[in-house]
Amino acid sequence: MKNMNYSNLWDAVEKAERIGISGHARPDGDCIGSCLGLVNYIADNYGKKADLYIDEIPASFTFLKGSEDIISGYPDAPKYDLFILLDCGDLERTADAAKYFKAADYTFCIDHHATNKGYADVDIIDGDSAATAELLCSIMDADKISLDTANCLYLGIVHDTGVFKHSNTRRQTMELAGMLLEKGVNAGNIIDKTFYEKTYVQNQILGRTLMESILLMDGKIIASYVSLDVQKLYGISNSDMEGIVDQLRVTKGIEVAILLKEVNKREWKVSLRSNNIVDVSLVAVKFAGGGHVRAAGCTLHGSVYDVLNSLTREIEKQMVE
């Protein structure tokens, strides 16, 4: 862990009057689970209501306590004594929460991206944690974790480990998840309803994207894309595309899966996954992104052809070494 001095997080929470929390843009399960887990833990143990800024939350997550109080749209707000950013590899990934962070008196970053260089007054970064929710859980006092907090943290761990199956899953991941189960978490329900269950339109977009995928580098790379036009046609948002790249990754013989999601005209949010050899975080970092060895992301501009060309050139370097 980069900064072991996390005990003062709880001192800072104790002292602060105004606390703000946020995560990365286009948040995933780990980001939302970590943020809401921390909001609940602070409410339960310190009697304080932290402001949570998140730009979109899937409908299947709204059973999590505190989700009803999430602030969207990043409105102006008085400065915070304490601002905590979770699951956010660098300050550029916050959508617009960086403005609260920069204005705050004291800041913490709690994150598990190996590519995170640190940007807060106190950085609690551990690239070996499978999820930010795992790291956060490990610095909480287990006796003070309520069922509401446990639900959030469990959801975060489930999502970043692909239900305990990705290579980031380690003994501590399972042990902390076991502790959360003992709080009364309904694991089957969380896993089915928030991870596996897909709406009809989510399945349609999954099927369409798989059908349009192409193989590159003698079948070692699989790539596909979802254009703005297609997103509009199906009326889908970012979270509707969760899981597509993971399905691409489990294609037989594949080392790297690439999914391009168009976020603005000719601007692509790239998702990268690998199986055994390629460190996709190195590829992402080349294009000012980041992430983990087996799951990373970045943003690139141009045609699908240009973007795939740039990415495969970098991937190829690692495959021939």
- Using CB under 6 A, list all residues that contact ligand AMP: 28, 89, 93, 113, 245, 271, 289-292, 295-299
Q: Taking the complex as a whole, how short is the minimal distance between the CB of residue 221 and Mn ion, in angstroms?
A: 23
The angle that helices 132-139 and 147-160 make with each other, rounded to 10 degrees, is 140
Q: Taking the complex as a whole, how short is the minimal distance between the CB of residue 113 and Mn ion, in angstroms?
A: 7
Where do contacts with Mn ion occur on this chain (CB under 5 A)?
28, 30-31, 87, 132, 160
Closer of 94 and 151 to ligand AMP (Cβ): 94
Q: Shortest Cβ contact with ligand AMP: which residue? A: 297
Whole-number Å distance between alpha carbons of 166 and 197: 19
Q: State whether residue 66 is helix, strand or coil.
A: coil
Angle at 232 between CA 229 and CA 236, to 5 degrees: 125
Strands 51-53 and 19-22: parallel
Q: Taking the complex as a whole, how short is the minimal distance between the CB of residue 165 and Mn ion, in angstroms?
A: 15
Whole-number Å distance between alpha carbons of 237 and 202: 10
User: Are 66 and 39 a contacting pair, CB within 8 Å?
Assistant: yes
Closer of 123 and 160 to Mn ion (Cβ): 160
Closer of 21 and 298 to ligand AMP (Cβ): 298
Q: Quick one: what does residue 148 bind among ligand AMP, Mn ion, none, with the CB cut-off 5 to 8 Å set by partner type?
A: none
Q: Shortest Cβ contact with Mn ion: which residue? A: 30
H/E stretch holding 248: helix 244-249
Q: What are residue 263's phi and psi, to 5 degrees?
A: -105, -30
User: Are 56 and 71 a contacting pair, CB within 8 Å?
Assistant: no
Q: Taking the complex as a whole, how short is the minimal distance between the CB of residue 86 and ligand AMP, in angstroms?
A: 11
Closer of 39 and 257 to ligand AMP (Cβ): 257
Q: Quick one: what does residue 89 bind among Mn ion, ligand AMP, none, with the CB cut-off 5 to 8 Å set by partner type?
A: ligand AMP
Q: Quick one: what does residue 37 bind among Mn ion, ligand AMP, none, with the CB cut-off 5 to 8 Å set by partner type?
A: none
Q: Taking the complex as a whole, how short is the minimal distance between the CB of residue 113 and ligand AMP, in angstroms?
A: 5
User: Are 183 and 147 a contacting pair, CB within 8 Å?
Assistant: yes
